[in-house]
Each structure stands twice: as C-alpha cells, then as structure tokens.
C-alpha cells in the first residue's frame, strides 16, 4: 500500500512541484492518511499538549471571558456559543461546567455548536462531552452556524491552517515549493510563482538572499468570515494561538511528533505541521469588517482574568505535592519563558463592546 509520501512524490512527478500550502493540506487533512484525520495528536500520549490539557483553569477562564462578552453585549437571548477546532473536547467540557456554575440560565439557553472538519475528532469530542441530550450540534463549516449573536472561541486553530511561503532569490520573491531533488527525495526549492511586493511584511526589501516570508490568505479569509458574521449579528470572538504581533521575514514552518521537532518533509501525515500565526494580519482582517481587534499575551490574558486567584482556590486544602503541581501549571500557561509570551490572545468584538482584560476598543 502506498504511503502518503509515495503519493505526494508521484503527484509531483506528474504535475510538478506543489506549494507549501498544498503540501501542508495533504499532510494534515488527506482523507486516508492526513494527520488530523487518522491520528490522536493531543496530550501526553500524542504529539503535543495544548493549554486545556495542561489545566482545567485555562478552560474556566476562557468561559469567564465568553460569558463576560455575552453580558457586555446586552445578554442577548439564545446566543450561539461555538468552538472551532475543538480538539478532544476538553476545553468545551471545562467551559460547560464553568457556565453551569456561573449562570445556569446562560448555559441552558445557549445554542451550542462544535465546528469540526474531522469525523474522527467529532466522535472523540462527543465521548468527552458525554450525553448532551441534543443540546449540541456538530458542523464542518461556519457557514452552517444557526442565526443569532455568535460567541466563538478557537484555541490553536490558525496555526494548522496552511500557509504560503516565499523565498528571496536575487531581487525577487519566488514561491517556495516542495519538489524532488536529484535523489528523487522531497525537497524545498524556489518555484515559478512570485509575490506581490506590496503584500510582503516590512523589511522584506532588505532581506538577504534565501530569506523566507510567510503569507496566510486562508487564515485571513476564515477570520474575515467570522468577523463578518459577528459584525452582522453581534457577538464576540476569542482566538488563542502561538505567533507574533508584528510580521517580519522568517521561516516558522515546523513538524512535531512525540513532543519533539522533526524534519517537515520526513514523514508526511505522521507529524503535526504548523506555522506561527501572524496576529497583525488576523486583526487587520477583523478590522476590515469594522470590528475592534485587541491583542495581548496569553500570560497577561489569563492573569488579568484571575489565574493566580483561581490557582489559590484550587490549591486550598491540597497537599504540598498537589499545590506544587498547580503552581507548575500556572507557570506553563502564563510564564514568560513558556506559553505565556509566545502564545497570544486576540479578542474580536463590535467597536461598542469592551471585554476585560483587553483594553477598550479604539
């Protein structure tokens, strides 16, 4: 049976080199051998650990933010509460438990929607959440969301949406592609396509030979669709991911397997492929829809929502070992040398709605 790598190699031999975006899409979402369609990536037994898997506190505080956004929006009836890219469902499980404690009426009236493209992961989420008696629905695209004000969360969503890369060759930027080298092995090379200089990040004109810039039109399109929906029907969005606040040349494409980095081209479909998120571009896409878009580090976001206080309450009455474990979780989530600085939180809201801990919209 041919592996995904064999099929990619055959496709290149037939039709020529493919873009980095097409390569990522095949590796992650191929129906037969894609990473997210065939593997269990999350947690200690998987290839990486996300914030909800580290501690329940992450989901609890995200729930507080979405609830606060709902209240700041006038507490509209029957809000659409959605998670896009819900992983194993751990984050939503923690949020549902939190909402039931904060305000049972909010929990009871929400239209709960999980947006998941992978049938396999949808089943995992159903098992995690348990019986919801028809309260939740699963859809594969935001276009199928029910009508109503949308309060949506995406955690580590945008990093897995395929990007395009361009490499500096002489005075031009050529699209970086995946082709075959002299030994018929997968290799990166400069393709025939070029980039419009006006859409490149600042400093690109002075970048050295071989420098790489990344553009992510698919990410920006998704954010535009979400923002357009919020602008039309109200609501708010919270998106947490690792990335940068200001775009600049650099290669951030990476492969993760077994909690370790590996060659991006080594085992297509068997490793998670991601790239850092350009939050400046995402914020711009939201602002084009006349929404406010405010950004802060994950550490500032969680601490601003009461992470330290929640950790204190969670550790009250626990033994020293358990209390130390909670402190370690706080450090992993919010420490500047761990997830706290690299991960960012982006809030997208109507310009009339301000939701702490983000600064007031301009």
Read off the pLDDT of residues 30-68 as tens digits, 9 standing for 90 and up. 999 999 888 766 655 555 689 999 999 999 999 999 999
The whole-number average pLDDT for the span 181-190 is 96
pLDDT single digits (tens) 98-157: 999 999 999 999 999 999 988 889 999 999 998 875 689 999 999 999 999 999 999 999
Please name the fold of domain 37-162+215-350: Rossmann fold (3.40.50)
Output the 3-class SS for 251-267.
CCCEEEECCEEECCCCC
Q: Of 142, 107, 358, whose CA–CA distance to 230 is shortest?
A: 142
pLDDT at 175: 96
Beta carbons of 233 and 147 less than 8 angstroms apart = yes
pLDDT at 224 over 80: yes
Q: How far apart are the C-alpha atoms of 44 and 132, rounded to whole Å? A: 27
Segments making up each domain of the chain, as ranges: 37-162+215-350
Residue reference for tokens 């690109």: 204
Contacts of 245 (CB under 8 A, 6+ apart): 279, 280, 295, 344
Q: What separation in angstroms does the CA of 149 have from each of 81, 241, 244, 266, 292?
A: 8, 24, 29, 44, 16
Q: pTM for the whole thing?
A: 0.93
For 233-256, the pLDDT digits (tens) are 999 999 999 999 998 899 999 998
């Amino acid at each position: 049976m041919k592996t995904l790598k064999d099929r990619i190699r055959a496709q290149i031999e037939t039709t020529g080199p493919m873009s980095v975006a097409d390569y990522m899409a095949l590796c992650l979402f191929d129906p037969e051998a894609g990473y997210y369609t065939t593997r269990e990536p999350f947690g200690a037994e998987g290839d990486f650990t996300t914030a909800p898997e580290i501690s329940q506190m992450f989901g609890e505080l995200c729930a507080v933010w979405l609830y606060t956004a709902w209240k700041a929006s006038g507490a509209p009836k029957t809000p659409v509460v959605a998670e896009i890219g819900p992983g194993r469902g751990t984050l939503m499980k923690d949020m549902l438990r939190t909402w039931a404690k904060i305000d049972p009426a909010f929990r009871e009236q929400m239209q709960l929607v999980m947006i998941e493209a992978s049938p396999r992961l949808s089943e995992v989420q159903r098992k995690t959440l348990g019986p919801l008696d028809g309260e939740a629905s699963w859809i594969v695209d935001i276009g199928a969301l029910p009508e109503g004000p949308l309060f949506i969360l995406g955690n580590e969503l945008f990093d897995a949406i395929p990007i395009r890369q361009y490499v500096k060759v002489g005075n031009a930027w050529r699209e970086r592609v995946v082709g075959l080298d002299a030994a018929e092995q997968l290799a990166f090379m400069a393709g025939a396509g070029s980039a419009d200089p006006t859409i490149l990040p600042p400093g690109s004109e002075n970048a050295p030979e071989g420098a790489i810039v990344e553009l992510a039109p698919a990410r920006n399109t998704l954010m535009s669709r979400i923002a357009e929906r919020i602008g039309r029907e109200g609501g708010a969005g919270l998106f947490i991911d690792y990335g940068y606040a200001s775009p600049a040349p650099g290669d951030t494409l990476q492969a993760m397997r077994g909690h370790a980095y590996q060659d991006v081209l080594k085992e297509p479909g068997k490793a998670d492929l991601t790239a850092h998120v350009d939050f400046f571009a995402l914020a711009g896409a939201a602002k084009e829809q006349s929404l406010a878009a405010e950004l802060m580090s994950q550490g500032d976001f969680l601490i601003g929502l009461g992470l330290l206080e929640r950790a204190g309450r969670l550790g009250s009455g626990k033994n020293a070992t358990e209390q130390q474990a909670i402190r370690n979780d706080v450090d992993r989530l919010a420490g500047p040398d761990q997830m706290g600085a690299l991960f960012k939180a982006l809030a997208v809201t109507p310009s009339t709605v301000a939701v702490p801990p983000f600064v007031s919209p301009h």
